[in-house]
Structure 1
Amino acid sequence: MTISTSISRLRAAPSPTPLQRTVWSSAGLFALILAWWLGSLALSPIALPSPLETASALSRILFDGVALSYLLETAFRVLCGFAVALTVGAVLGLAAGLSVPLRQAVGPILSMMLAVPPIAWVVLSLLWFGLGGQAVIFTIAVALVPIVFLAMLQGMRTVDPALVEMAESFHLRFPDFLREVLLPHLLSYLLPAMVTAFGIAWKVAVMAELLGAHSGIGSGLAVARSNLDTAESFAWILLAVGSFLAVQYGLIQPLYRRLEPWREPAAGAGRQVAS
């Protein structure tokens, strides 16, 4: 069987039903929890607490009320940093796509920024802003700007000239051209970058809070680490992961599908190709 044949069969395979996706996801999650439980039996509770011990610690910080307040602090910082990065990166990418000299001047700088590890930005932000939320927001923004910039720049550079000529031939007004032609094209590059950037923003926020904040999920994780409370450390990690997944699948993915429905495979398309 050739590679092309395998790819063709994969494309022709029917899409899984919602029930099948739920069953497979549940099976994978069950396998992970089972492996976690078996590992906790082989290791000490300090090294790897059991799922029940972690659930108990998670319920404790939730009922204490500290988890909710820290979660809101982290979410606020993520949204602020994400909004700053989206605005600055999109504007710079749009301008660089329209101006070759600006692209040549700004492109290498942002590419260098992309290569800087987030931990280095955390250290610098603590030196510049001190402990607190400003350092976290700055770290998130400066880590995400290059990602948004490169996505927007790539979108600007791949605009089909034929579409521009067609819009000019029909004397399409600029607002209509922006809405009907340019924005849908740019969104096809910007939306995947935004999904990736949001995941990075959440991780960077927790890392920055761990090293330099008095509140937030990372701060709670830092306190649990200093107390050698591994179960509570795992509880804070689960809170961070669960919150991210809730936003990812409850808000971002539905918005992504709404803005770009053409990326979703048509129902039954696989079965029609297979037949």
Structure 2
Amino acid sequence: MKALINIMRGVPRYLWSGWGALSSIFLLIALWDYAHQSYGQLVLPAPKDSFIALWQMFQQGDTWQDIQLTFKRAILSWVIVVGFGSVIGMVAGLFVTTSMMTRPLMTIFMGMPPIAWIILSMIWFGMSDTSVIFTIVVAAFPLVFIGALQGTRTLDNDLREMAQSFNASRWMMLTDVYFPHLFSYLFPSWITALGQSWKIVVMAELLSTNNGVGAALAVARTQLDTVTALALVVIMVGSLLVVEYLLLEPIKREVEQWRK
């Protein structure tokens, strides 16, 4: 509870420090507009047109339903990946034999393209939420697993022995020795898995469902509606930025205060 209060107190300062990130987004929009002027409306519509289309889409109830459905699928899958990947990876990291046996398996899983998992999930589960969630979980799981595995395997024995020599309690060992080290490995893998989940959910919806943002992108593709397609891309990118920078990044800053 105390950590949550500290996170909430630090949000205004964190938001104020976000001007650098905002400037990079504005730079990207400027480059987008430059590319529009260079290649024309069909190839790359103007940012203004895409944002107008985005506003118009928000006036429609179907768009909100698609966004909520896609958001639910991506977040649910990501939570499953973070939970199981972190726990199983840390357990595997405690045993050398298990670590050696799982590495080739994770390499195989990471090397298999998501499109192959989508096809298999469509065969196994049909066009349903299960096929989308399964694809995200099986494709993103190795990222978190490997992060947890490496974090566990690289625990500093000297630091642990020093803490034990000062008769540190088990709770202090967990919170002040083990967790900060593990978190430095886990958090980047969580962020990577989050981005992977966002990309795969759209791909899976585009091919295996008739609802969600991915399905709306499929409709825009068949109609050659580049403006709507870019508006949908903006929705997905904006959602990802909100989750990462307004939810996860403040938590990361609170946990990593020991680095200062």
With over 3 angstroms needed to count, the CA separation of the structure-2 counterparts of 1:189 and 1:20, relative to structure 1, is: closer
Q: 1:46 aligns with which of 31, 38, 42?
A: 42
Aligned to 1:226: 222
Shift of 1:26: 5.4
Instruction: Name the amino acid aligned to 1:202.
Output: W
Shift of 1:154: 0.9
Give 1:58-69 correspondences, 5 Å limit: 58-69=54-65
Shift of 1:252: 1.3
Shift of 1:167: 4.7
Aligned to 1:213: 209
Give 1:25-174 correspondences, 5 Å limit: 28-169=24-165, 172=168, 174=170
- Stretches of structure 2 lacking an aligned partner (at least 5 in a row): 1-14
Shift of 1:33: 3.1
With over 3 angstroms needed to count, the CA separation of the structure-2 counterparts of 1:186 and 1:32, relative to structure 1, is: closer
Aligned to 2:191: 195
Which has the greater radius of gyration? 1
Give the TM-score normalised by the residue count of structure 1.
0.80
Shift of 1:25: 5.1
Instruction: Name the amino acid aligned to 1:223.
Output: V
- Distance (whole Å) between structure 2 residues aligned to residue 186 and residue 219 of structure 1: 38
Aligned to 1:7: none
- Distance (whole Å) between structure 2 residues aligned to residue 27 and residue 88 of structure 1: 36
Encode CA deviations 1:47-92: one digit per residue, 9 max, x unaligned.
Answer: 2222222122111211012222211111111121112211221222
Shift of 1:235: 0.6
Shift of 1:115: 1.5
Aligned to 2:12: none
What is the DSSP-based 3-state SS (H/G/I as helix, E as strand, rest coil) of the residue aligned with 2:59?
Answer: helix
Instruction: Name the amino acid aligned to 2:221.
Output: R
With over 3 angstroms needed to count, the CA separation of the structure-2 counterparts of 1:216 and 1:105, relative to structure 1, is: same
Aligned CA-pair RMSD:
2.5
- Distance (whole Å) between structure 1 residues aligned to residue 213 and residue 135 of structure 2: 16
Question: Is residue 2:253 matched to residue 1:254?
Answer: no
- Stretches of structure 1 lacking an aligned partner (at least 5 in a row): 1-17, 267-275
- Distance (whole Å) between structure 2 residues aligned to residue 21 and residue 170 of structure 1: 40
- Distance (whole Å) between structure 2 residues aligned to residue 106 and residue 27 of structure 1: 42
Question: Is residue 2:247 matched to residue 1:237?
Answer: no
What is the DSSP-based 3-state SS (H/G/I as helix, E as strand, rest coil) of the residue aligned with 2:224?
Answer: coil
Aligned length: 247
With over 3 angstroms needed to count, the CA separation of the structure-2 counterparts of 1:25 and 1:188, relative to structure 1, is: closer
- Distance (whole Å) between structure 2 residues aligned to residue 160 and residue 140 of structure 1: 33
Give the TM-score normalised by the residue count of structure 2.
0.85
How many percent identity over aligned positions?
Answer: 39
- Distance (whole Å) between structure 2 residues aligned to residue 187 and residue 19 of structure 1: 25
- Distance (whole Å) between structure 2 residues aligned to residue 110 and residue 96 of structure 1: 12
Aligned to 1:272: none
Q: Quick check: 31-40 or 253-262, which moved more?
A: 31-40
Encode CA deviations 1:155-181: one digit per residue, 9 max, x unaligned.
Answer: 111111123334544555544432332
With over 3 angstroms needed to count, the CA separation of the structure-2 counterparts of 1:164 and 1:223, relative to structure 1, is: same
